[in-house]
Amino acid sequence: MAVEQTLSIIKPDATARNITGKIINLFEEGGLRVVAQKRLRLSKEQAEGFYAVHKERPFYNDLVSFMMSGPVVVQVLEGENAILRNREIMGNTNPDEADPGTIRKLFAENIERNSVHGSDAPETAATEIAFFFDPSEIVG
Ligand code: IDP
Ligand code: MG
């Protein structure tokens, strides 16, 4: 086991419902620590760039519009096996398939408006953290 950092985004469907605290509580109860955090509204360039890996997927344009539709909270989460742990706490992309007690089972509205993003591997975590945070903004 190793201490890792991962990039988390609380998505616009969740900020709209004022449940950022409930979500952060699940990360903290799950053993992760918020070591950087800011609330912002994504520009079109940011939303398109962040999800560029999904450019060819049929849901890409809708996803970009959704992610720009309201404020998001971007965070760096730290802990033992943080990348995998965060994805366990989030649950399956599709809330209908997510395990009980996961963020997406508890809070997601549907497969698109699913409340949270989390990096899926060490390489993407490093790239996604650098997309939003300067090293000086991450305080462990
Ligand atoms: P992940 O967020 O669980 O890693 P990805 O496959 O990387 O899932 O998809 C990125 C995001 O794109 C999802 O979190 C969700 O918001 C959206 N998305 C994924 N699949 C679909 C779909 O089939 N329809 C609509 N939106 C989708
Ligand atoms: Mg993903």
Ligand 1 near 11 CB (within 6 A):
no
Collapse the DSSP code of 18 into the 3-class scheme (helix H, G, I; strand E, B; otherwise coil) and give the result: coil
Q: Angle formed by the axes of helices 82-90 and 20-29, to 10°?
A: 130
Interval 77-119: pLDDT, tens: 999 999 999 999 999 999 999 999 999 999 999 999 999 999 9
Is the confidence at residue 6, as pLDDT, over 80?
yes
The position carrying tokens 């539709």 is: 69
Distance (angstroms) between ligand 1 centre and the Cα of 113 equals 9
Ligand 1 contact, 114 CB (< 6 A): yes
CA–CA gap between residue 29 and residue 117 (Å, rounded):
18
Per DSSP, the residues of 36-104 read EEEEE---HHHHHHHTGGGTTSTTHHHHHHHHHSS-EEEEEEEEETHHHHHHHHH--SSGGGSPTTSHH
